[in-house]
Each structure stands twice: as structure tokens, then as C-alpha cells.
Amino acid sequence: MRMKYLINVSITLIFSVLSNYVFAQTEESWRPSRATLDRLTSTPSEINYLEEKVPEYVLPDVLATANGKKVRNSRMWENVRRKEVLEMFRENVYGRVPSTPYTKSYKLVNEDKNAMGGNATLKQVDITIASGGNSLDIHLTLFVPNKISKPVPAFLLIDNRGPANTDPSRKLKSEFWPAEEVISRGYAIAVFSNADVDPDNFDGFKNGIHGLLDRGVREPDSWGTIAAWAWGASRCMDYFETDKDINSEKVAVVGHSRGGKTALWAAAEDQRFAMAVSNESGCGGAALARRKYGETIERINKAFPHWFCTNYTKWSGNEDSMPFDMHMLIALIAPRAVYITSADEDLWADPRGSYLSLFHSLPVFRLYHRKTLLGEQMPPINKQVKSGKIAYHVRNGAHNMLIKDWNWFMDFGDTVLK
């Protein structure tokens, strides 16, 4: 009995030491600067940016099934609990895709085999979705490296910023989509505009893919715009499965801000994505809702009522009653790879809440990879931390996606996509 006790104590101590070692956390752990806090709290506001004002909360157990049973292994997660969690997010947050029949087709509208000075092949593909005599086109831009063997892994960006950031001629270049740098690392790089799928405004769900596929009266769990954008990412994946230059089993879906929310939901719904990158996604994305830090459910529902299903409004100011929180969204991606990021000045998106969400998704990832470890404290600023199929960083600076971020994405991709 004494030997069993000593073994258990030793295992606990080893786990604690490894967690601290992996993330080099103690006094170096990130915290918002005084200057940032002073700037955000200098005038009275209902938005909380102070850690001491975060309410006490209890997160739902991601491994407790609806009938109270404990998930013990990956098979039980996949056959029982994952289905329950996925259904909760469909019903309460993003909504469910209608079953309306549609057809899809692909047309290569432009190809340049000597793009980027001969380093890449440019392909511009129109993905046409048709139903009920109407159609829409998703314009996919894709660069594939020329000087390595095919097929190659790929990064797919859900672009929520406009064509100036993703110029296929490369006359305009942006850190938001650093195509040349990605090509040089041996990856394909692709992008589509979320506006091609659905407009980012509250139009009564009359336009875009909603106008094409919605039938009859919308229900409280009918899909919102984020779910529509995620559906569009899956149609790009459909195309990748037809392109011999792309390894469709090694595609990462990437999004920033509202696109980061979309990337998480796309990977949750579509298990063909090998990796999700959620850059500064905040409320309705990676950040824990129960912390009520920065943007809240009530605030996001008022500002962007089209993003989510109507049922999401039930949780405005009522977060503690939710049968879910966003750690469970991240857990839906296991055992595939997920990368969560934050920015030092972007407290609106709650960096600490985003990291804790990743931390509390660990029980599911550990069903597949027992050695996956995270410390509960945040890592230092500008330090990528990764373990198994999960990664995180908090970068200095404001709400954006930069080459620095992409380089960390690719560093992680080198371990999980190649």
C-alpha cells in the first residue's frame, strides 16, 4: 500500500514538473500591460478588462455524457459524447445546415505555372453551387509550390478582410496572407472570401448561400452566417480532394477574428480538416464565455445578430446556465491539430480565456495522446508552446494576423502536417 501511495505521488510530481518545464511558466507568464489596462479602463464601461472582476464559474465537464456517464476512452468520445457536444453547438450557437439538395462544379478560370518568379503555380478556381435554378460562385485562389514533389499540405484562409490582402497577381502583398513565405516553406496556400458565400451584414438571411439553400420559415436553430462561412470552407475542401497537387488529408483551415470563430466551427463540423488555426477569435470562438471578460455573448448578439442562430440569444447574460462552453468546441477537433492565438493588446478577445479554453479541452486530446501537456498558467509573450496536436501563442501588438503568426503556424504545421 505504501509503495502504491509513493508511485501515485511520484506520478503527480512528474506531471507537475513536466507541465512547468514544457511551458517555462512562472513569473514569466503573460499578463496584460498596465498601459493597455489603463487605456481600456480609463472611462466607465460595462465591459470588464480586469482579472479580479472575472466571476467565479464552473465549466461543464467535457467528458460527462448527458446521462452522467464518464467518458473513459476515445471510442466512447467518438460514439457518444462528441455527437452530444456537436449537437449542442448546432442547436445553441452556430445553427444547423439545411438539407436542401444542391450541385457543385469546379472551373479553372486561370492558371499560371510561372507565378512568383517560377516558384509557384497559380490556380484560380470557381466553385459553383446551384440549387432551385439559382447559383453562386466561391472564388478560390490557390498557389502550389513548383520545386517540391506533390501532393503537398495546404493552408486555407477564410478571408474576412477583402481582396487587397489576397491579391493573386502579387502586386499587392500583405502580412495577413503571406503567400510567398508559405510557398517557400513547402506548403500550398489558398484563400476564399467569406463574402462570396454570405454577406457579413444582417440582411434577414435573404442573400448569399442562405438565399440559395434556405427553404420555408427559419427556425431558432437555423444556421447563421458563421456556419455558412464554415460550410464554404468545406466546399473548398471538396475541390482539394480533386486536385492532384494537394494532399487533402493535410489541409489546415485558418481564420482571424470572426474568421477564427469560423475556422473552429469548420473543423468541428468537417473532420477532413487536419488542423484548425483560430487567430484571436474571442467571444463565440476560443474564449471561455463564462469569464465575461472583454466581448460577451450579450454584446456580440447585439452587434452581429446574423453570425449565430437565434437560440444563442438565450445565453446573453446567462452564461452560467449553458450546458457547454468553448473548451468543448476546441475538444471537437481532437485528435486533429488545433492552434489558438492571442494578441497582447487585444483584451477584447480575452487572451487568458482563450488559453484556458485550450487548457480545459485537454481531457479529450489526452484520450488520444496521453503525453499532451499544458500548464494552467499562460506562456510568456512571443513564445510558441505546443504539445502533441495543440499549440498556442500570445503575440505582442494589436488585433491582426502577421508574418510572425504565420511562421509559428508553419512551425507547428511542420510537426503535424508533414
Task: Compute the half-sphere exposure of residue 327: CA atoms within 13 Å on the CB side of its CA.
Answer: 24
Of the residues 222, 248, 257, 357, which is catalytic?
257
Check if 257 is active-site: yes
Tell me the C-alpha to C-alpha distance, in Å, between residue 214 and each of 174, 228, 254: 36, 11, 27
Helix (H/G/I), strand (E/B), else coil: 403: helix
**What residues have CB less than 8 Å from 258, skipping those under 6 apart?**
160, 194, 200, 226, 281, 304, 307
Q: Is residue 264 a contact partner of residue 252, using CB atoms and an 8 Å limit? A: no
Q: Where are the alpha helices (DSSP H) in 275-394?
A: 297-303, 326-331, 351-360, 362-368
Task: Compute the half-sphere exposure of residue 246: CA atoms within 13 Å on the CB side of its CA.
Answer: 27
CA distance 293 to 48: 5
CA distance 332 to 305: 24
Residue 69: how many other CB atoms lie within 10 Å:
12
CA distance 28 to 277: 25
Check if 33 is active-site: no
Closest CA to 392 of 404, 409, 407: 409
Q: Please list the active-site residues.
A: 257, 399
